[in-house]
Amino acid sequence: MPPSTEPLRVERQVTIVEVGPRDGLQNEKHLVSTGLKLRLIRMLADCGFARIEATAFVSPKWVPQMADHDAVMRGAVRRAGLVLSALVPNEQGAQAAITAGAQELAVFTSASETFSRRNTNCTIEEGLARFVPVIALAAEHALPVRGYVSCAVDCPYEGPIEPGAAAKVVARLRDLGCAEIAVADTIGMATPERVHAMVLACLAEAEATQLAGHFHDTGGMALANVDAAWSLGLRVFDSAAGGLGGCPYAPGAAGNLRSGALVEHFASRGIATGIDSELLANVENMLADPVFLGKR
């Protein structure tokens, strides 16, 4: 009997989390209609994305683009194998997201104290304390919680972040009960060497299967940074169709890693994503048209 190929098959698979509808659109200056958001989510699901971050249950005062979060979550396409997540800042947001039908919650903190204060108006410790009831509520409803660690490599205010600082926050999110923790290069200026060091530090606190990579492409190094994280065992990565996005609280941060580029990158290496690249190209072409997002 020939040796089993199962380990190889698993090794050559990756999960891409599509964050365009939330992290991508949140920074758009022109308000995108609810109808267009729902259309985008449906098209992304048709491409084969099994995990889509649909919206954020945050205050419209701070993120006007997400003001229609309830309508988006309630109206988003539902199908077997598709998980729709929502970013939530606190217990109130979590309850609203669950009521609207979110299938996964995401909470966000930072490896930078300054960024935490600028982004959430609280310290890292105060932010983590807010997650305790969120995670308890999610557990009551048997929903997984993803934790984001912003500025895991660089901060727009503090500069380079020590790998140990990111690892410390990963450990806290692990202990709180996050099923997955995404380490983020929020301003997109990381290098593979520094990503390697950061991920290696985080692996001292969490298994590779618990970690995900979220890399912006400001410096044009996102794919190389993905490779650095892949080499250490990470198999979940975020991207946004059309490279949409940025962060309203991170000056100089450009868009997310483009989903089409990430899919093509993995395909060239024989790594399965489950995404239809032709359908995705159609979506990205539509997003490139200013009319689609209501810019003119």
Q: Catalytic residues, which ones?
A: 247
3-class secondary structure, 159: strand
Q: How far apart are CA 195 and CA 191, in angstroms?
A: 6
- DSSP letters, 110-151, are ES-HHHHHHHHSS-HHHHHHHHHHHHHHHHHTT--EEEEEET
Q: Give me the count of residues in the chain.
A: 296
Q: How many other CB atoms sit within 10 Å of the CB of residue 111? A: 30
3-class secondary structure, 212: strand
3-class secondary structure, 51: strand
Q: How far apart are CA 144 and CA 125, in angstroms?
A: 22
Burial class (CB in 10 A: 0-12, 13-18, 19+), 2: exposed
Question: What does DSSP assign to residue 196?
Answer: H
